[in-house]
Amino acid sequence: MDKIRIRGGKPLRGTIPIGGAKNAALPLMTASLLTEGTLTLANLPHLADITTLANLLAQHGVDLRMDGHSPNGGHTGRVLSLTAKRISNTTAPYDLVRKMRASILVLGPLLARAGKARVSLPGGCAIGTRPVDLHLKGLQQLGARIELKEGYIDAEAPNGLSGAEIVFPSVSVGATENLLMAATLAGGETVLANAAREPEVTDLAVCLQAMGARIEGVGSDTLRIQGARSLSGTRHDIVPDRIEAGTYAMAAAIAGGEVELAGARPELMHAALEIIRQAGATVTPTKSGIMIRRIAGALRGTDVMTEPFPGFPTDLQAQIMALLTTAEGASMITETIFENRFMHVPELRRMGANINLHGASAMVRGVPRLTGAPVMATDLRASVSLVLAGLVAEGETLVNRVYHLDRGYERLEEKLAACGAEIERVKEAAA
């Protein structure tokens, strides 16, 4: 397995191109199941999770074609065309689903288009139990019959789904996306209340509208959908990845220097950019993205609480913690979305960080310096937080289990190295 080796202490200077959002690309790809037409997605990031979902969709009968590249902030995103002329298989097997929880997003579209679906239960994962009850209850309210058998969700709607009013008891990105897609082909009107407002949900809704779906309230917490008999294909540009952009913004703030995030959209990142400002970096919107600067002056401690959008994203919690480990003063970081999302804490401690956990909160007391160490993490964002810590740590940091990073960051080491970081991928044989 590859590793990433970093020698800390180099400031970052340059431009980092921001790719299309992984968390928008995944639901958008599953939306191809809703139509016989061709859905063309541009600005597609090149990531392991995308390949996993492509394999799953292929075995449902989707024809996938990589159509080349599209311009993306000076770099190139990919263009993928997906055509589901006929759904040849409605089972999403355990072997593919277990690799990635987002596979659950095929459930709503399969059920709405084919009238049945059999999807492996995703099971637990590193950051918590992550149940799918909200997805299942919502689909039942649209008239689906659902049974859990032998580790599988067996869902049926032989006469099609019918619209209903669904009030989510808590905000779920995935459940909102699954129900939104299912509702586009359900009979009559569906209302989704307390829906997630994440920009990736909005990106999906905009694409569905272009496919002919009638959706009101896009971007708000109440979505009103008039079901259609069928949808058509379209071409859609995937929204830039605000989590990738936020990660590199924090990299620039922790390492010091000046980095432009080309293609980043500041209006999708208010909460994160505000925290980065409070921590002592300068954030300036530019023509093509966002400039992050910290030339002189120490980082300052600040408090952070994760919340659904437009609050501070849980997917940036590990990264902001890495940053605050070297800030002056104390910071309280509270995680409200996932119950077990502090796996980076013991590893950051091994690098010299002073962090105490109290339930869902972490008290971080800034230390003058971190020291490099061999580290590893068990999820994507935790892994990248160790890379950020490595950028300022004295000596060498070796991050193991790089496959987690490859699930969500395209060419991470190249992008950081191009800005002056001393970072390289070490192939297993040479490690």
Binding positions for ligand UD1, rule: CB under 6 A: 23, 26, 101-102, 128, 130-135, 170, 172-175, 200, 314-315, 337-338
Max CA distance (Å), the chain: 65
Query: Nearer to ligand UD1 by C-beta: 71 or 124?
Result: 124
* 104/123 Cα distance (integer angstroms): 11
**Is there a contact between 27 and 200 (Cβ–Cβ < 8 Å)?**
yes
Scanning the structure block, which residue is given the tokens 């992550």? 130
- Minimum Å gap between C-beta 313 and ligand UD1 is 6
Distance from first CA to last CA of the chain, Å, rounded?
Answer: 9
Which lies closer to ligand UD1 via its Cβ, residue 249 or residue 417?
Answer: 249
Distance CA 57, CA 106 (A): 8
**Beta-ladder partners of 292:** 259, 283
Position 236, amino acid: H
CA atoms within a 13 Å half-sphere pointing along the CA-CB vector of 127: 21
Query: Do residues 292 and 326 touch, judged by C-beta distance below 8 A?
Result: no
CB of 212 to ligand UD1, least distance (A): 24
Distance between CA atoms of residues 376 and 401, nearest Å: 6
Question: Residue of minimal CB distance from ligand UD1?
Answer: 174
- Return the number of the residue (128 or 297) whose C-beta is nearest ligand UD1: 128
In the complex, least distance from residue 18 CB atom to ligand UD1, rounded to whole angstroms? 17
Choosing from 54, 58, 64, 125, the catalytic residue is 125
What letter does residue 219 receive in the DSSP assignment?
T
Q: Is 23 or 385 the residue whose CB approaches ligand UD1 more closely?
A: 23
The smaller minimum CB distance to ligand UD1, of residues 407 and 425, is found at: 407
Name the token pair of 202. Answer: 């909005």
Query: DSSP letter at 162?
Result: B
CB of 268 closer than 8 Å to CB of 310: no
User: To the nearest whole angstrom, how small is the minimum distance from the Cβ of residue 79 to ligand UD1?
Assistant: 21
* CB of 12 or CB of 39, closer to ligand UD1: 39
Are the CB atoms for 44 and 80 separated by under 8 Å? yes
297: tokens are 């002056």
Residue 300 CB, shortest distance to ligand UD1, in Å, is 27
* 125 in catalytic set: yes
> Least CB distance from residue 174 to ligand UD1, whole Å?
3
Rounded-to-integer distance, Cα 217 and Cα 202, Å = 10
Nearer to ligand UD1, 63 or 154 (CB): 154
Rounded to a whole number of angstroms, the minimum distance from the CB of residue 355 to ligand UD1 is 21
Contact 327, 356 (CB under 8 A): no
Contact 106, 116 (CB under 8 A): no
Residues involved in catalysis: 125
